[in-house]
Amino acid sequence: MPYFFNTEDDIQAMLDSIGAASIAELFEQVPESLRLKRPLNLPAAMGELDLTQHMTGLSNRNQSAGDSICFLGGGSYDHFIPAVVDALASRGEFYTSYTPYQPEVSQGNLQAMFEYQTLICQLTGMDVSNASLYDGGSAVAEAALMSMTVTKRHDKIVVASTLHPEFRQILATYLACLGTELVVVESENGIVTPQAVAQATDDKTACVIVQYPNFFGAIEDAAAIGKVAREAGALFVMSFDPISLGLLKRPGDLGADIAVAEGQGLGTPMSFGGPYLGIMACKEQFVRRMPGRIAGQTKDARGRRCWVLTLQTREQHIRRDKATSNICTNQGLFALRASIYLSVMGPNGLHDAAHLCFQKAHYAAQQIAALDRFQLAWDQPFLKEFVVQDQSGQVQELLDDATEHGYLAGVSLAPWYPELADCFLVAVTERRTKDQIDSLTQYLAQASKLETVSHA
């Protein structure tokens, strides 16, 4: 980004304005023992030409999904984004507006929030949606806190081990100082059973949280698990994949009390991991315990349709002891992108995208499993992701070599699931072609031959 530096005259003018004799005077409150008495260990300054070339060289070392054939998943997906999403979301009225949460926010932003909420309710089958959250992980944590305030239970949260491991880490951080026990239900063959959930759930449980499809891509028996939660008087929280709802039943149809999601797949690029979009929707009876803000539709003094911030249950607006969350902003721009994406795709487009993911993922799984070195970890229904077991056990070496050959072939499960150190997660979206899938299969076949020769 181009910039202009401050001259000595600029610096002196600012010091005069605030009544300081020098920059050093601004740091008098910092103890001498904590001050650095030498220049920073930085390389010599560069001219603009040299600096631009240097920074370009550094950025070129990144390998993005657009530079490779991408089969990465685990929460961030290489889905198709219609050109109209960028065209509309990049308009100055949206792109440069200040964080849209003040009461005087423009009618255009408020209407965009309202349309987003409407689309999320239609997508999920839930009654109400807020105007978005930070990301999928914080949405899970906020749903747990919301469940605790609704049920008045603060002793226990039950989660499936098949919930995204990073989401579980975020939740554990939120609960660390609250004295709330986080009970993780272990999986069997890639899913958690309702029986195992029932054993972990009791009258002290605030909520049961399940991912659908789960982190491994497998489809949990969400309806049965939701029944277990209700019988214990707990809320049922579903973390869902928005694209999957083009084929699968909606959270509202499966009995969810609160539905949350990572909304990256709805028109936001992978962007090396963020920023992304948090989605939250719930039953109407819980609306006053929902964190964040909700835009509503009404009429002004002249009877014209207009939009307002209906609920803002955060501590900047109401007393702290009444606040549902300290969330101070929402991902308005990414919620806008999701709104444009859903509007353009419509129900039929979303169905087609999900169906293409389903077909291509199953084709890829069949091709990979036919190789001697690999097999599917479990025989479970899945939509667009599946777990491959590498019988050689050289998963990270395989994935690193694949990257060198132009394939982002998958995500190793070893960092989160040590017992699955010989497995990796493969995601196949609608963007992958048959030729690309066949090309990956050929690479894996060649890698299998090399592994066989090396062991011989």
CA-nearest of 60, 58, 57, 80 to 70 is 80
Spatial neighbors of 255 by CB under 8 A, at least 6 apart, are 222, 223, 226, 227, 230, 236
How many CB atoms within 10 Å of residue 257?
26
What 3-state DSSP class applies to 131?
A: coil
CB distance 175 to 157 below 8 Å? yes
Boundary of a domain, candidates 294, 316, 342: 342
Low-confidence ranges of the chain (pLDDT < 70): 1-3, 98-104, 313-330, 450-456
CA-nearest of 198, 192, 199 to 214 is 192
Boundary of a domain, candidates 342, 370, 396: 342
**399, two tokens:** 């994935």
CB distance 79 to 428 below 8 Å? no
What is the residue range of 373's domain?
A: 69-78+346-455
**400: CATH:** 3.90.1150.10
**93 and 219 in a common domain:** yes
**233 and 102 in a common domain:** yes
| Side-chain-side CA neighbours of residue 68 (13 Å) | 21
In this structure, is residue 38 part of a structural domain? Answer: no
> What's residue 332's pLDDT?
87
Burial string for 269-279 (b: 16+ CB within 10 Å, else e) reads: bbeeeeebbbb
DSSP 366: H
**321, two tokens:** 């002891």
**57, two tokens:** 């060289």
**360 and 338 in a common domain:** no
> What's residue 327's pLDDT?
64
**278, two tokens:** 């948090």
**308 and 161 in a common domain:** yes
How many CB atoms within 10 Å of residue 391?
13
**168 and 317 in a common domain:** yes
What 3-state DSSP class applies to 309?
A: strand
In this structure, is residue 233 part of a structural domain? Answer: yes
**375 and 310 in a common domain:** no
Whole-model pTM? 0.88
**301 and 187 in a common domain:** yes
Dihedral sign for Cα 65, 66, 71, 76, please: positive
| CA–CA separation, 302 and 72 (whole Å) | 53
In this structure, is residue 29 part of a structural domain? Answer: no
**Runs of H (alpha helix) within 152-281:** 165-175, 194-200, 222-231
Boundary of a domain, candidates 342, 359, 378: 342
> What's residue 331's pLDDT?
85
386 strand-pairing partners: 426
What 3-state DSSP class applies to 250?
A: coil
**Strands 156-160 and 205-212, sheet pairing:** parallel
In this structure, is residue 59 part of a structural domain? Answer: no
**223, two tokens:** 């309806």
Q: Which residue has the tokens 């969350």?
A: 325
In this structure, is residue 21 part of a structural domain? Answer: no
- Burial class from Cβ neighbours inside 10 Å (0-12, 13-18, 19+) for residue 216 reads buried
**90 and 73 in a common domain:** no
Element (H, E) at 385: strand 385-390
In this structure, is residue 45 part of a structural domain? Answer: no
**353 and 326 in a common domain:** no
Helix, strand, coil: what percent of the chain each, to 5? 45, 15, 40
**288 and 232 in a common domain:** yes
| CA–CA separation, 228 and 25 (whole Å) | 64
> What's residue 217's pLDDT?
98
CA-nearest of 334, 324, 426, 335 to 375 is 426
**Runs of H (alpha helix) within 375-433:** 395-404
* pLDDT digit string, tens, across residues 359-395: 999 999 999 999 999 999 999 999 999 999 999 999 9
Per the structure, the count of domains in the chain is: 2
In this structure, is residue 361 part of a structural domain? Answer: yes
**358, two tokens:** 């389903």
**330, two tokens:** 């929402």
The pair phi, psi for residue 197, each rounded to 5°, is -65, -40
DSSP 392: T
* pLDDT digit string, tens, across residues 57-108: 999 888 888 889 999 999 999 999 999 999 999 998 887 775 555 655 788 8
| CA–CA separation, 325 and 95 (whole Å) | 26
Q: Cα 201 to chain center, whole Å? A: 27
**356 and 300 in a common domain:** no
The whole-chain average pLDDT of the chain stands at 92
- Burial class from Cβ neighbours inside 10 Å (0-12, 13-18, 19+) for residue 136 reads buried
**320, two tokens:** 């702290």
**302 and 427 in a common domain:** no
In this structure, is residue 436 part of a structural domain? Answer: yes
What 3-state DSSP class applies to 48?
A: helix
> What's residue 101's pLDDT?
56
**318: CATH:** 3.40.640.10
